Amino acid sequence: MSETYNDKLTELRTLRPQVAKAQSAVETAEKVLATKKTAFDALADQRAKLVVELAQFDDAQGKGETIAKAAGMKLADVVRIAPVLSPVKNTADDTGADASTGPSEKAVGTAAPVSADTTAQPVPTGAPVPAVPETPADASSGQAPASVSAAEARPVRILPSLPQGPAGERYLMPVADLHKKRPVWEQKWYSTVWLDTRTGALAMEPPATNVVQVDLGARRPGDILDAVTSVVPGVRRIYITGGDPWHIEAERYSTLRDAVAAWLNTPSERWAESTGGGPNRDQLASHLVHHRNPVGRYIRAGAERNNPTIEIHSAGAWFQPDGADVAVVRHAFILMYEALKQQWDDVVMMAAPSAMGKDLWKRTIPTTGQWAEGFPVMSEELRGLLHATAGQGRTELIVPPRVPEQLPALFEADRTFAYARHTHRSSVGTPRRVTGREFAAMDAKQRRRALYDPSHWHIRATVPNGWEHVGVLPAPVPGERAWEYPATPGTTFTTWAGGREVLLALENPQKLPWRIEVLDGLVWQEGDPLDEWSNKLKAAWSYLLGLSQMHGDERTRRAAYLASRGIRSIQLLGIGAFAQRPRVNHGSTPIDQTVPDGAMITGQTGDRILWERATPNSRDPWAHPEWSAGLWSDARAALLDMTVKDEANKKTIGRVGALHLPPRSVVALRTDAIYTTEPIGHWPYFGRPGEYLLKGHLTGPVDAPVTEDGLLALRNQGRIQLTQTRQDNQGGTR
> In this structure, is residue 96 part of a structural domain?
no
So what's the pLDDT on residue 580?
Answer: 76
Q: How many residues does the chain have?
A: 734
* 733 found inside a domain: no
Rounded to the nearest integer, the mean pLDDT of the chain is: 81
Could you tell me if residue 272 is inside a domain?
Answer: yes
**Which of the pair, 509 or 58, is modelled with greater confidence?**
509
Q: How confident is the model at residue 561 (pLDDT cuts 50, 70, 90)?
A: very high
447 and 585 both lie in a single domain: no
The share of the chain scoring above pLDDT 90, in percent, equals 50
Q: What per-residue confidence (pLDDT) applies to 695?
A: 94
Q: Assess whether 407 and 503 both reside in one domain.
A: yes
Name which of 614, 561, 610 is nearest 585 in CA terms.
614
**Nearest-angstrom CA–CA distance, 267 and 273:** 9
| Structural domain contains residue 316 | yes
Q: What angle do CA 522, 524, 529 make, to 5 degrees?
A: 140
Measured distance CA(504)–CA(511) in Å, rounded: 10
**Mean pLDDT, to the nearest integer, of 12-35?**
68
Verify that 285 and 237 share a domain, yes or no. yes
713 in the same domain as 691: yes
Burial group, residue 340, by CB count within 10 angstroms (0-12, 13-18, 19+): buried
Burial class (CB in 10 A: 0-12, 13-18, 19+), 559: buried
pLDDT band at 564 (very low <50, low <70, confident <90, very high): very high
Residue 548 domain-assigned?
yes
Does the pLDDT at position 585 exceed 80? Answer: no
DSSP letters of 258-315? HHHHHHHT---SSEEE----STTGGGS---B--SSS-BEEEEETT--TTSPPEEEEEG
Domain range enclosing 303: 192-347+532-599
Asked if 477 contacts 459 with a C-beta cutoff of 8 angstroms, the reply is: no
**Considering the domain boundaries, does residue 611 fall inside one?**
no
Q: Of 90, 110, 126, at which residue does a domain stop?
A: 90
Measured CA to CA, the distance from residue 327 to residue 208 in angstroms comes to: 11
Question: Which residues sit opposite 633 in a β-bridge?
Answer: none
Q: Give pLDDT, residue 357.
A: 94
Q: Cα–Cα distance between 575 and 524 in angstroms, integer? A: 18
Tell me the per-residue pLDDT of 671-695, one tens digit each, with 9 for 90 and over.
999 999 999 988 999 888 999 999 9
Q: What pLDDT does 412 receive?
A: 97
The pLDDT of residue 70 is 81
Q: What is the pLDDT of residue 145?
A: 38
In a domain? residue 166: no
CA distances from 575 to 305, 360, 423, 618, 626 (A): 33, 12, 10, 18, 10
Same domain as 679, residue 645 = yes
pLDDT of residue 618: 60
Query: Residue 566 — very low, low, confident or very high, per pLDDT cuts 50/70/90?
Result: very high
Q: Is the pTM of this model over 0.95?
A: no
- 343 shares its domain with 466: no
| pLDDT value of residue 22 | 74
Asked if 392 and 632 count as a contact pair (C-beta separation under 8 A), the reply is yes
Q: Judge if 334 and 285 occupy the same domain.
A: yes
pLDDT band at 105 (very low <50, low <70, confident <90, very high): very low
Q: Return the pLDDT at 187.
A: 73
In angstroms, the CA 650 to CA 224 distance is 55
pLDDT at 34 over 70: no
pLDDT for 581 equals: 66
In sequence order, what are the residues at sequence separation of 6 or more whose Cβ sits closer than 8 angstroms to the Cβ of residue 498? 390, 455, 456, 457, 629, 630, 632, 633, 634, 636, 637
Of 305-319, 491-505, 614-628, the range with the lowest mean pLDDT is: 614-628
Q: Are residues 553 and 505 located together in one domain of the fold?
A: no
d(CA 689, CA 679): 21
Report the pLDDT averaged over residues 543-561.
94
- CB-hemisphere CA count at 13 Å for 480? 3
Identify whether residues 520 and 579 lie together within a single domain: no
pLDDT band at 311 (very low <50, low <70, confident <90, very high): very high
SS3 category, 47 = helix
The Cα–Cα gap between 504 and 643 comes to: 13
**What is the pLDDT, as a whole number, of residue 184?**
67
Q: How far is CA 363 from CA 309, 344, 366, 542, in A?
A: 26, 8, 9, 21
Report whether pLDDT(261) > 70.
yes
Indicate if the pLDDT at residue 641 is higher than 70.
yes
Considering only residues 304 and 231, tell me which one the structure prediction assigns the higher pLDDT: 231
Residue 98, pLDDT above cutoff 90: no
Mean pLDDT of 160-166: 91
pLDDT of 137 > 90? The answer is no
Residue 516 has pLDDT above 50, yes or no: yes
Lowest mean pLDDT among 371-385, 436-450, 482-496: 371-385
Q: What is the pLDDT of residues 116-130, one digit of tens each?
A: 333 333 323 233 344
DSSP string, 336-402: HHHHHHTT-TT----SSHHHHHHHHHHTTS-SSSTTTT-PPPPPHHHHHHHHHH---S-EEE--TTS
**Lowest-pLDDT choice from 150-154, 355-359, 461-465, 498-502:** 150-154
pLDDT digits (tens, 9 = 90+) for 182-204: 666 667 788 999 999 999 999 99
Helix (H, G, I), strand (E, B) or coil at 325: coil
Assess whether pLDDT exceeds 50 at residue 143.
no
Same domain, 464 and 586: no
- Burial string for 9-38 (b: 16+ CB within 10 Å, else e) reads eeeeeeeeeeeeeeeeeeeeeebeeebeeb
* % of the chain residues with pLDDT over 70: 76
Between residues 723 and 25, which one has the greater pLDDT?
A: 723
Count of the separate structural domains present in the chain = 3
- With CA atoms as reference, report the closest residue to 391 among 662, 115, 639: 639
pLDDT over 70 at 142, yes or no? no
Q: Is 221 inside any structural domain?
A: yes
SS3 654: strand
pLDDT single digits (tens) 395-421: 999 999 999 999 999 999 999 989 999
Q: What is the pLDDT of residue 60?
A: 74
Q: Is the Cβ–Cβ distance between 595 and 551 less than 8 Å?
A: no
pLDDT at residue 264, rounded to an integer: 92
Last residue of one domain, picked from the residues 90, 124, 141 = 90
Do 524 and 637 have their domain in common? Answer: yes
- pLDDT interval class at 306 (50, 70, 90): low
Q: What angle do CA 342, 346, 350 make, to 5 degrees?
A: 95
Query: What 8-state DSSP symbol labels residue 215?
Result: -
Identify the domain boundary among 90, 116, 136.
Answer: 90
Q: Are residues 515 and 547 in the same domain?
A: no
Taking residues 294-323, report their average pLDDT. 87
Spatial distance between the Cα atoms of 573 and 54, rounded to a whole number of angstroms: 49
